[in-house]
Chain A
Amino acid sequence: MNLAALVHSLRCSLLRIESRLLQAAGLDRHLAPALAVNGPSLLPQLQPQDSIMWMAVPKKRRTIEVNRTRRRCDSKLLKVKTNIEPCPECGHLKQKHILCGFCYAKVRKETGQIRYQIQAMEGGPLRAPIEETVVLYDGETAGPQDKDKRIVERPRKRPAWFSS
């Protein structure tokens, strides 16, 4: 596993031995003097904290062709949805895993009307009775099962989707 390190250390020691031998033989010629002192030199200019010298910066302007290939690659294009189907109740389009928007809106409208009426009956906040509530439409009377329940009358025909 440490073969590379071993080889490297061997190579270093061999080079050292070689240089020592050459030194002893007097055949090597160092270009620098035997004694060298580091003289005074210009210290590197301390970069101020906010210098822009070491920011990552674009080298060249990206051409419009390069930009277009990046912006229009397949992963960035919009995917066509395959989960759209018509709602069996109303015929508007809906997504398979989501309620039909039209049907939801019509139910919401009717429940809004019922809530408005309940609000008028209660007359203020935090006055909901303990009994259950039952919604009765035109031409309907309270049956035996609605004995102990609060009755909300709606002055219209019962909608088809609201089963009694």
Chain B
Amino acid sequence: MSAVFHWRLQVRPQQLSCLHTSASLESKEWEKKNKKVFPPQLPDEPRRPAEVHHSRRQIKYSKDKMWYLAKMIRGMSVDEAVAQLEFNDKKGARIMKEVILEAQEMAVKHHNVEYKSNLYVAESYSGKGTYLKRIRYHGRGMFGIMDKVNCHYFVKLVEGSPPKTEERTSLDHAKEYVQHLKNRTIIHSL
């Protein structure tokens, strides 16, 4: 059904400052993560793998549609991820591939990564960018508010081979649940 909305979208400028308490609209926290410097490692510590954080802001695409692509490439090596994105028909796939290739180049040039194929996608997710609101005209004088969406895309590449996730079947889940039920006992009993 067509929706009728109250036209209460005018936000006064003095209201904007109190809308976000922690982060403002243009926070670049993800980019700052690349500048973090760790203390030198002790000789007996395991070697910390190199990490690259990269993002692209205000992509003209929906964050929900971008999420499906981000979910697909989570945990893949960069070569696999780039191959999958190259043959995916979505608009966000082309943009995501560019971002990952940029991040790979950055890793090799500035972040002391030896082999560009020795990277995997540790984190990848989409976030909401700024939305512009427009009127969408319906029949009988009704109107709706259309959102012109933008999204951000964040990716973190880590050096090394991708970690193997153990495949758990539904039977394993069921067995674990039954075992959990069997382990229950009465506490503070005689």
A interface residues, Cβ below 8 angstroms from B: 52, 55, 57, 71-72, 76-78, 80-81, 84, 93, 95
Can you list 5 contacts pairing A with B, beta carbon distance less than 8 Å? Answer: A78-B88, A84-B83, A84-B86, A93-B83, A93-B86
Residues of B within 8 A of A (CB): 1, 64, 68-69, 71-72, 83-84, 86-88
Dominant secondary structure of chain B at its interface with chain A: helix
Q: How far is the CB of A120 from chain B (nearest CB, A)?
A: 36
Q: Are A81 and B84 in contact (CB under 8 A)?
A: yes
Residues on B with C-beta less than 8 A from A80 are 72, 84
A interface majority secondary structure:
loop
A71 to B64 CA separation, bound complex (whole angstroms): 9
Contacts of A57 in B (CB 8 A): 1
Closest B residue to A86 using CB positions: B83
Quick check: B71 and A77 within 8 Å, CB to CB?
Answer: yes
Q: Which residues of B contact A77 (CB under 8 A)?
A: 68, 71-72
- In the bound complex, do residue A78 and residue B83 qualify as a contact, i.e. CB atoms below 8 Å apart? no
Contacting residues, chain A, for B86 (C-beta < 8 A) = 84, 93
Alpha-carbon distance between A84 and B88 when the two chains are bound, in angstroms: 11
State the Cβ distance, A81 to closest chain B Cβ, in Å.
Answer: 6
